[in-house]
Chain A
Amino acid sequence: MNVLKGIISEIQSHEGISLVKVKSNDFIFSSIVLDTPDTADYLKQNKAVKIIFKETEVIVSKDLNLKISVQNQIPCLVKSLKKGILLTQINLLADRQIIQSIITTNACEQLNLKENDHVIALVKTNEVSLSADD
């Protein structure tokens, strides 16, 4: 589970759904939740929140300029790789934070991922959960 700290910078709500922008270091995450400021206390501008997403939902791209619908595209450096038979865990350094990704070992080999590679970590907006950080 990746848990990063951030501050809510923007909330856009419509019919019970909110699109929330959360600033974490220099990166702005986008998350979509089935809540609005009326239904959830933590949904407030400038509120400290935890940004939570599963390792297995983190896509890794070596192509740095993607035309793709995924909103969270975090520039990272590959810190280390833990290769298994079927799965590989990649520790990525984003700014000053570690993001972990788990992809198939096949995918890792096809991309020929190595330490110190520059990559983009991709996380879909609907894979990012938020939680009050108190």
Chain B
Amino acid sequence: MIQIAIYKMLQTANGELPLDISLTIEKGQFVSIYGNSGAGKTTILRVLSGLTKAEMASIKVGEVKWDDTKKKFHLPIQKRSIGFVFQDFALFPNLTVKENLEFALSKNDSKEIVSELIELMELQSLQNSKPQNLSGGQKQRVALARAIVRKPEILLLDEPLSALDDEMRSKLQDYILQIHQKYNLTTLMVSHSLSEIFKLSDKVIVVDKGKIVKEGIPETVFSEQKVSSKFQLTGEIINITKSDIVYVVQVSSGNNIIKVIATEEELDQYKVGQKVLVASKAFNPIIQILNKLT
């Protein structure tokens, strides 16, 4: 279990804003942090990793204290068992993929993990390439592998996939899930993508203006049943096509694909991959009996 309590004054575009949060994360959980820019999401990861010091921080990972400002205790960053991947992770340009991974090893570590990760992340054909010859998605795959080389307890991901296109993003999500499970990691990910959060996380924390405003499983947090309509389902937009002056939005929900009409003005808010709630009133649907024996 990881117990985190942080208080830190943030300097934002709109002046000072206190980040004041406390949360508990179970070992092995995949937790997403969601919220507006400047809400303090990245700071939480940075304080946890030891990159940033807070006015007040109390961080305990299992039985080990990482931060206890009351007792002026701060575990140095190199002693914290973490892997960190940022949006643009800088790989060493003069080293090959394999050398980049080996560089992350501690002195006495066996090189076995490097070949294991190269295989798991399907980097075999790229292992002797230099970073400049890799695509964005390939670089992030290497960055992810490198973050795992020391087998950290905690993996911190700060919008690692936001610069990638949808297809690459979805592939990388699969890799992230795979390493999270295989290495029994506790993962914290900052993300703006609802579909990504739904796909990966056990729990989501919504941060607004330095405070946690909501937390729970993604379904409950994002599809609060606030609208009176009783005919509701959540799903993901898979396709949008123009039809005369309106648009047909296709939503995949479980095994079903449904279609909903939308106007041109509404389209700004809808994107393929977006998680949505589709609602209609209980008064509209008709019921037809299936398997009627004649």
Tell me the A residues contacting B by CB distance below 8 Å. 1, 31-35, 40, 42, 52, 54-56, 82-89, 100, 102, 126-127, 129-132
Q: Given A84-B244, A89-B245, A126-B283, do A33 and B228 touch, yes or no (CB 8 Å)? A: yes
Chain B residues with Cβ under 8 A from A84's Cβ?
Answer: 244-246
Shortest Cβ distance from residue A17 to the other chain B in the assembled complex, whole angstroms? 10
A87 x B245 contact (CB < 8 A): yes
A88 x B245 contact (CB < 8 A): yes
Chain B residues with Cβ under 8 A from A129's Cβ?
Answer: 227-229, 279, 281
- Closest chain A residue to B282, Cβ basis: A34
B281 x A126 contact (CB < 8 A): yes
Q: Given A32-B283, A129-B229, A130-B227, do A87 and B266 touch, yes or no (CB 8 Å)? A: no
B244 x A87 contact (CB < 8 A): yes
Given contacts A100-B263, A131-B226, 16 further A-B contacts (CB under 8 A): A1-B266, A34-B230, A35-B228, A42-B226, A54-B261, A56-B261, A84-B245, A84-B246, A88-B245, A89-B246, A126-B281, A127-B284, A129-B229, A130-B227, A130-B228, A131-B228
Shortest Cβ distance from residue B109 to the other chain A in the assembled complex, whole angstroms? 53
- Closest chain B residue to A1, Cβ basis: B266
Chain A residues with Cβ under 8 A from B284's Cβ?
Answer: 126-127
- Closest chain B residue to A41, Cβ basis: B226
Chain B residues with Cβ under 8 A from A34's Cβ?
Answer: 228, 230, 282
Give the CA-CA distance A86 to B245 in the complex, in Å. 8
Q: Which residues, 262 to 288 on B, are CB-close (under 8 Å) to A?
A: 262-263, 266, 279, 281-284
CB<8 Å pairs between A and B, sample of 17: A1-B266, A35-B228, A52-B227, A54-B261, A56-B261, A82-B245, A84-B244, A87-B244, A87-B245, A89-B245, A89-B263, A100-B263, A102-B246, A127-B281, A129-B229, A130-B227, A131-B227
- Closest chain A residue to B283, Cβ basis: A126
Tell me the B residues contacting A by CB distance below 8 Å. 226-230, 244-246, 261-263, 266, 279, 281-284
Chain B residues with Cβ under 8 A from A1's Cβ?
Answer: 262-263, 266
Chain B residues with Cβ under 8 A from A130's Cβ?
Answer: 227-228
Q: Given A33-B228, A130-B228, A131-B228, do A86 and B282 touch, yes or no (CB 8 Å)? A: no
Give the CA-CA distance A82 to B246 in the complex, in Å. 10
Chain A residues with Cβ under 8 A from B279's Cβ?
Answer: 129
B281 x A55 contact (CB < 8 A): no
Q: Which of B227, B228, B230, B284 has the most CB of A within 10 A?
A: B228
**Which 3 pairs across A and B sit closest by C-beta, in order of nearness?**
A84-B245, A126-B283, A84-B244
- Closest chain B residue to A124, Cβ basis: B283
B226 x A132 contact (CB < 8 A): yes
Q: Contact check: which of A40, A56, A86, A100 meets B228 at CB < 8 Å?
A: A40
Shortest Cβ distance from residue A34 to the other chain B in the assembled complex, whole angstroms? 5
Chain A residues with Cβ under 8 A from B227's Cβ?
Answer: 52, 129-131
Chain B residues with Cβ under 8 A from A52's Cβ?
Answer: 227
